[in-house]
Amino acid sequence: MGGSLLLALDQCIETRVVILTDGSLGGDDKAIVDIRRKEAKLALKALGVKENYFWNLPDRGLEVTDALILKVAEIIARVQPQSVFFPTAMELHPDHRQTAELVWEGLRQAKSFTGKAFSYEIGTQGQINYLIDISAVVKKKNQVMALYTSQQAINNYTKIVQSLDCARTYTLPKNVLAAEGFWQHETLSKSLSSDTLDNLRPYWQLAKKDNPALVSIIVRTKDRPALLMEALQSIYEQTYPKIEIIVVNDGGDDVSEVIRLFNSVDRTIVLVQFPVNLGRSKAANAGLDEATGEYNAFLDDDDWLETDHIDTLCQAIEKHPANKVVYSGVRCVDGDKKRYPAISARLLTQRCSWQEITFLYMLHYFQMSCLSAAAV
């Protein structure tokens, strides 16, 4: 939301920024924490921020605790801001999602707060109900982003943010060159789920179950990086907390850059790379060989999962432990999300022999074919 901060500067609106984590995992340089802080201070100065606070919490280790909630509430009560901004709960990075819950709870405890609360986007489009035209300051915003030299060396963040800002002009007049999207929260109710973000809470509220079983999801792919990103994103958005991902690239172009992007967040990914195409069966076998979970599931790169999919299947198989396999139905949709009759399903299996899995798959597809034919 750098453009909005620059517009605030032009209108003589005071802004304050809290940077929660230390950025220690943002590079290989031993001095990366100091480097990132210096870059951040340069950027904050260029944005005209009146005060900044560095809390130095562990990078990718942010946790919502009573002590941190109280600290958030205290700074809100002391500053008495007219508006508070925090990341959308749909962000990929776990610290960003944790920040959403942390600030939300802090706002609720700051009894004297009577201002407005907004979620903003960082690298992922979230649900929005508020747009700000930043065309007048977009050049300056790009210059500020360029100050983060250490991070630009890792990823092309400027182009990513520019693309997001450009996409947000879709519903605006042609002369709007860039816009930033926000969600304005209407009320600070008992929990974020009771506000207008019911459908977003699963992205950051992980299951509260103690010591959940590890689920291995095997993703087969070949020369479809854009589809692979959609499939992986749907796995990262699962409400089930303990998942490992095995990507099997069956002789396709290198996808290590896609894997690297998703490895920056809180799921483990193993990449199996075949130099030549060996076929679906061998790709599946290779994925199973790498899997270490108590349960296994398959997701090809042209499919995706609903956010509660793995959670629902795990609850079902644990309720009936004698069963080797549980499965759900699917929705077939086109590019416009128009539905078509389903002819397949998604399975989750316990670790068992290949003979058992093969028989179960054969039985499953025979049943689904009959059902599909009957529906037609």
Could you confirm whether domain 2-203 is CATH 3.40.50.10320? yes
Confidence check: pLDDT of 198 > 50: no
Three-class secondary structure of residue 67 per DSSP: helix
Residue 250 has pLDDT above 80, yes or no: yes
* Joined tokens for residue 257: 């850059």
Q: Mean of the pLDDT values across residues 225-239?
A: 88
Return the minimum-mean-pLDDT range out of 27-41, 188-202, 293-307.
Answer: 188-202
Residue 339 has pLDDT above 60, yes or no: no
The confidence band for 239, taking pLDDT boundaries of 50, 70 and 90, is: confident
| pLDDT, tens only, 349-362 | 676 554 555 555 55
| Superfamily classification of domain 215-375 | Spore Coat Polysaccharide Biosynthesis Protein SpsA; Chain A (3.90.550.10)
Q: What is the pLDDT of residue 25?
A: 87
Tell me 126's DSSP state: -
Average pLDDT over residues 302-329: 86
Candidate ranges 70-79, 88-97, 194-203; pick with highest mean pLDDT: 70-79
Per-residue DSSP letter, 60:
T
Tens-place pLDDT, residues 274-293:
999 999 889 999 999 999 99
Indicate whether 207 pLDDT > 70: no
For residue 362, the surrounding DSSP H or E stretch is helix 354-375
| Mean pLDDT of all residues belonging to the chain | 83
pLDDT digits (tens, 9 = 90+) for 117-150: 999 999 888 888 899 999 999 999 999 999 999 9
pLDDT of 41: 96
Contact 323, 317 (CB under 8 A): yes
Paired strand residues for 29: none
23: left (phi over 0), alpha (psi -120 to 50) or beta: left
Tokens of 229: 């990103």
Helix (H, G, I), strand (E, B), or coil: what is residue 315? Answer: helix
Instruction: Pick the more confident residue, 329 or 205.
Output: 329
Distance CA 217, CA 329 (A): 17
**DSSP H/E element including 152:** helix 149-152
Query: pLDDT tens digits, residue range 15-73?
Result: 999 999 999 988 878 899 999 999 999 999 999 999 999 999 999 888 889 999 999 99
Q: Which amino acid is at 45?
A: K
Q: Which residues lie closer than 8 Å to 27 by C-beta, 6 or more apart?
A: 35, 36, 150, 151, 153, 154
Which of residues 187 and 242 earns the better pLDDT score? 242
The domain segmentation of the chain, as residue ranges, is: 2-203, 215-375
